[in-house]
Amino acid sequence: MTLVTGYPGPDVDLDRIVAAALARCETLAECSECQGAITRTFLSTAMEACHVRVREWMESAGMTVSVDRAGNLRGYYAAHDGGPSCESVPRLIIGSHLDSVPDGGRYDGILGVMIGIAMVEALERRRLGFGVEVIGFSDEEGVRYGLPFIGSRSVSGTLLAPHLARRDAEGVAMFAALDHYAALHPDVIDPRLHPATRGYLEFHIEQGPVLEHAGLGLGVVETIVGQSRAQVTFRGRSAHAGTTPMFLRHDALAAAAEWIVAIEAAASSMPGLVATTGQISCEPGAANVISGLVRCSLDVRHGSEEIRQSAVREFLAMARAIAERREIEVEHRIEYEQPAVQLDSALIGLADRAISGAGISPRHMTSGAGHDAMIIAAKVPAAMIFLRNSGGISHHPDEAVAGEDVGSALRAGMNFLGVFQSYLDQSMESEPDSCAT
């Protein structure tokens, strides 16, 4: 492997570092709450076991490691002229998440953190003109509290009181879980961004088939689509399945089923829109009883705010029309709204140059999945690099990535370090060097 920049030195064995990064993904797959499956949620014992291993790798690479009050694992590789406490030395964050969906894959989130560690390892203790902070976010998937991006929200300062009041399936409020975590980790640091942070870079598997179809190993994300999540509840009337004629029924499940199929048809006619009902609960849930109450989730995504919000209004109007015709009630609750995010044009340009230097023609992409980058981008310039993954399969045990593509990502990452220094030189105003040694 060769690089267009001076990072790393010519004797660094990048193939060995890539192999180690992939092996680490396999090792972390063992940190799970479930035997035989990968499930790792916010502040769980499995996450604690994951932290033990990742901390060891970070420290071995020369980083100072800490956890913050939101459970994010943070490794800092100091610049040549300042340690982690220096407020004037700029830094670049390389991050992704360490949690998983239930029965998830080995690479979603994890690979991005391992590439960040690999980049620091490839420097072989060589110092840069800026610090590098590698963050393993504690929660991106939102499994435990039904709220995604807990880790990156805390870093960006957007984890708010209503979020902290949420309760998990066991009734534990988020603020209580965080207090307990802090009590167990008395050295926790403040989660907020360091004031000298100048950029954020996230590597992530694509979780889709676009790069594979194009025959490309890497892509550059321009836009991360917005998301709306809601819960829709249909209230009918339970009755005996054998004695109630079809024309006298007020079946909540039948209404929900009609609505779900109607959403699928409507979303299919809107280019770029996706709509999903991934959760459904039914009461009383007996085979011989007509359903009286059904709760459905609704997930709607699009790169355009106007189109996404219009679609949500249309889908909710469809639910009301179906309920009225069937003489039942319907109500909804919007649980989450995340606007679409345009990533930073300057850092996108740096990613283009970095990928080109790795011998790949950069392709600009829209991410249909949400990522921590969309939260951090509100505070500092952010960029994302996608890696091709086989079949676009993700959130599944069959998730896979090629070593060749991880190697290309590492080369691009090292190139990014070089062009990021030039970016800082051109864009930053002169600051007092109060931490010089």
Task: Report pLDDT digits (tens) over 52-110.
Answer: 999 999 999 999 999 999 999 999 999 987 655 567 899 999 999 999 999 999 999 99
Helix or strand holding residue 198 (H, E): strand 197-205
Contact 106, 26 (CB under 8 A): yes
14-225+340-427 fold:
Aminopeptidase (3.40.630)
The rounded distance, in Å, linking the Cα atoms of 293 and 281 is 8
- Whether CATH 2.60.40.1930 fits 226-338: no
Contact 278, 299 (CB under 8 A): yes
Q: Which two tokens stand for residue 360?
A: 């790949």
What 8-state DSSP symbol labels residue 302?
E
Between CA 203 and CA 173, with CA 157 as vertex, the angle to 5 degrees is 100
- In 10 A of CB 23, how many CB atoms? 11
What local confidence, expressed as pLDDT, does residue 82 receive? 62
CA distances, 293 to each of 76, 169, 259, 276, 298 (Å): 51, 20, 14, 20, 16
Contact 373, 200 (CB under 8 A): yes
Beta bridge partners, 271, equal none
What local confidence, expressed as pLDDT, does residue 240 receive? 97
For the whole model, what pTM was predicted?
Answer: 0.87
The rounded distance, in Å, linking the Cα atoms of 380 and 94 is 12
What local confidence, expressed as pLDDT, does residue 65 receive? 98
End-to-end CA distance of the chain: 35
Question: Phi and psi (nearest 5°) for 74?
Answer: -130, 120
Contact 418, 6 (CB under 8 A): yes
User: What is the residue extent of each domain of the chain?
Assistant: 14-225+340-427, 226-338
Q: Which two tokens stand for residue 201?
A: 């870079």
What local confidence, expressed as pLDDT, does residue 85 receive? 57
What local confidence, expressed as pLDDT, does residue 203 receive? 98
Q: 245: exposed, middle or buried (C-beta count within 10 Å: 0-12, 13-18, 19+)?
A: exposed
Contact 214, 281 (CB under 8 A): no
What local confidence, expressed as pLDDT, does residue 437 receive? 44
What local confidence, expressed as pLDDT, does residue 429 receive? 57
What local confidence, expressed as pLDDT, does residue 83 receive? 57
Q: Which two tokens stand for residue 378?
A: 């509100």
Helix, strand, or coil (residue 146): coil
Rg (CA), the chain: 24
Least Cα distance to 239 among 288, 295, 280 occurs for: 288
Contact 50, 173 (CB under 8 A): no
What local confidence, expressed as pLDDT, does residue 2 receive? 37
| Ranges under pLDDT 70 in the chain | 1-10, 82-86, 428-437
Least Cα distance to 29 among 416, 300, 398 occurs for: 398
